[in-house]
């Protein structure tokens, strides 16, 4: 009996040491966000996320009715809160967009457009854990109409016009340089400074 326990213990120790060595050999670099996930991983993650979305969300229809005013509101909201990562046209072609793991997807693509409204809403309201996508929803989901308006805009992305994209630029967060220029201009206009602001381009 004692001998059996001894053998069991030694085998257990050997397995443990083996597992630790394997982990040390395999682990280095595995948390780097520089690589891009392989196709199967993206598909699997999408499928699991679909399964993990509570079914009553999948069945929800957008409580906000489409109108040009609502769409304009959503464009301004998106330009201010989302475009830093997703770009005004939803393409994801931004400074940071491609550097996330997984990278920011092109919201005009079939992979996104084939998601049901409630699924898009769920992602915006609750975010996606372990990725760069934050949770934006405040309060109860049924009262989060701002996120529902963004769902309308995502549906509109495949047909967004250059004019709409140009207009969104006014609502993008300012860079440091733009802010300094704005402050200098404000000072100049309020008469605090007699020299006109420099223009950088
Ligand atoms: C800090 C960067 C960042 C910001 C800001 C951001 N997102 Fe994202 N978003 C991401 C990343 C990264 C992903 C990819 C996550 C993934 O594929 O798992 C993503 C994915 C998405 C998706 C696709 C979800 C899917 O299932 O593939 C939608 C829709 C989305 N974001 C909407 C928005 C909206 C609307 C806003 C603004 C309210 C926003 N995002 C702001 C980084 C961001």
Ligand 1 cavity residues, CB under 6 Å: 81-82, 84-86, 100, 102, 104-105, 107, 112, 120, 123-124, 128, 131-134, 136, 150, 154
Give 39-92 pLDDT, tens digit per residue.
Answer: 999 999 999 999 999 999 999 999 999 999 999 999 999 999 999 999 999 999
Gap from CA of 126 to ligand 1 centroid (Å)? 11
pTM of the full structure: 0.85
Q: In order of start, what are the domains of the chain with their CATH numbers?
A: 61-172 (1.10.760.10)
Burial 187-198, CB ≥16 within 10 A → b, else e: eeeeeeeeeebe
User: How much distance in Å is there from the Cα of 78 to the middle of ligand 1?
Assistant: 11
Lowest mean pLDDT among 4-13, 94-103, 139-148, 188-197: 188-197
Q: Are 189 and 196 in contact (CB under 8 A)?
A: no
86 close to 136: Cβ distance less than 8 angstroms? no
């Amino acid at each position: 009996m004692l001998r059996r326990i001894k053998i069991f213990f030694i085998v257990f120790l050997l397995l443990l040491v083996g597992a630790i060595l394997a982990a040390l050999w395999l682990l280095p670099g595995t948390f780097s966000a520089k690589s891009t996930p392989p196709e199967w991983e993206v598909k699997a993650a999408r499928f699991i996320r679909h399964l993990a979305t509570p079914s009553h969300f999948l069945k929800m229809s957008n409580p906000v009715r489409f109108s040009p005013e609502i769409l304009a509101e959503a464009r301004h909201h998106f330009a201010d809160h989302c475009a830093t990562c997703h770009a005004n046209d939803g393409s994801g072609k931004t400074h940071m967009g491609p550097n996330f793991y997984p990278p920011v997807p092109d919201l005009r693509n079939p992979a996104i457009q084939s998601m049901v409204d409630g699924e898009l809403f769920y992602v915006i309201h609750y975010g996606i854990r372990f990725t760069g996508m934050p949770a934006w929803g405040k309060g109860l989901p049924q009262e989060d109409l701002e996120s529902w308006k963004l769902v309308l805009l995502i549906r509109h992305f495949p047909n967004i016009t250059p004019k709409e994209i140009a207009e969104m630029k006014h609502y993008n967060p300012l860079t440091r340089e733009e802010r300094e220029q704005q402050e200098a201009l404000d000072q100049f206009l309020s008469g605090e400074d007699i020299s006109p602001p420099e223009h950088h381009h």
